[in-house]
Amino acid sequence: MVQTVKQFVTDSYQLVSANSPTTPLHGNDMLKGVQYLNQMLNQFSATGLLTPIAKEIVFPLLNGESFKTFGSPTYVPTPDVIEGRLSNLQNAWLELDGVTYPLIIENRNTYYASYKYEPQLGLPRFAIVQNQVDLTQIQFYPGASQTYEVHAYGKFQLPDLTENGTMAILPTYMEMFMQFAVAKYLGFFKGRSEAWTQKLEDELINLKKDLESVSSVNLNIETEQESYLNGAWRVRAGV
């Protein structure tokens, strides 16, 4: 059964409330609960670690294009891809006439520290992710010399929840962690920080570990022996 946002916020208050479970919320209690819930979901999109669901999207990269922006459909001007801000890009590849061309996801600093020819059009070999305030931009290098179909697999920022909505956009195994996490901040908001006990904190830590364990984000740091943007890789890319 899908939980409503109102019921979720009410249950979160109960974790730090000394009142009876039947006592209704007052004033802007519900508004603050929804606000903290959305703030936490937005914060998770910083790295994508606590946003456990990744998905694949497909979009065209037109002849002469080198950049694509990702963001909310409410953002002005409208981003190229309106799936939400891209939190974490895990895989990307091009398709043309049934042939798949994997893209190398390169670090922004490495890209700008490497020598390269610009402007350059050809078969894109690299995807350079550049995070902005409300958008994520991917630069494809070299730029496309013809139209390709781009496949990107990653995590995207979830849309804000509303008071009259449901928790359907979240996996059910995430709800318990969110329940405790939102309750912690509501305790501070209500002036009941002392109600957040060590026992509650320990449970929140355990729930966070469980959520991180199902994340597909790789936290290992791997160093490259040479920059892919130099040497033989430039020859293979046709640049």
52: pLDDT strictly greater than 90? no
Higher-confidence residue of 203 and 237: namely 203
Same domain for 165 and 71: no
What percent of the chain has pLDDT above 70? Answer: 88
Domain membership of residue 79 as a residue range = 55-157+221-236
As given in the structure block, the two tokens for residue 76 are 């002005």
Residue 214: pLDDT band (50, 70, 90) is confident
Q: Give the mean model confidence (pLDDT) for residues 152-177.
A: 93
Tell me how many domains the chain contains.
2
What confidence score (pLDDT) does residue 188 get?
87
What confidence score (pLDDT) does residue 210 get?
92
As given in the structure block, the two tokens for residue 69 are 């922006």
**Burial profile 153-174: b = 16 or more Cβ within 10 angstroms, e = fewer:** ebbbbbebbeeeebbeebeeeb
- Locate tokens 């059964």: which residue? 1
226: pLDDT strictly greater than 70? no
What confidence score (pLDDT) does residue 113 get?
87
Residue 230: pLDDT band (50, 70, 90) is low
Give a yes or no: residue 179 inside a domain.
yes
- Locate tokens 């550049």: which residue? 130
Give the closest residue to 90 by CA, choosing from 59, 54, 45: 54
Same domain for 149 and 60: yes
Same domain for 136 and 20: no
What confidence score (pLDDT) does residue 17 get?
82
What percent of the chain has pLDDT above 90? Answer: 58
Same domain for 109 and 98: yes
pLDDT tens digits, one per residue of 124-146: 999 999 998 889 999 999 999 99
Give a yes or no: residue 203 inside a domain.
no
Give a yes or no: residue 202 inside a domain.
no
Rounded Cα–Cα distance for residues 135 and 75 (Å): 9
Same domain for 111 and 15: no
Give a yes or no: residue 149 inside a domain.
yes
Same domain for 151 and 79: yes
Give the closest residue to 153 by CA, choosing from 91, 85, 86: 91
**Burial profile 93-110: b = 16 or more Cβ within 10 angstroms, e = fewer:** ebeeeeeeeebebbeeee
Residue 238: pLDDT band (50, 70, 90) is low
Give a yes or no: residue 102 inside a domain.
yes
Same domain for 108 and 21: no
Rounded Cα–Cα distance for residues 239 and 235 (Å): 6
Q: Which of 17-21, 206-210, 226-230 has the highest mean pLDDT?
A: 206-210
pLDDT tens digits, one per residue of 72-115: 988 889 999 999 999 999 999 999 999 999 999 998 888 888 88
Q: Give the mean model confidence (pLDDT) for residues 2-30.
A: 84
Q: How many residues make up the chain in this entry?
A: 239
Same domain for 230 and 129: yes
Give a yes or no: residue 178 inside a domain.
yes
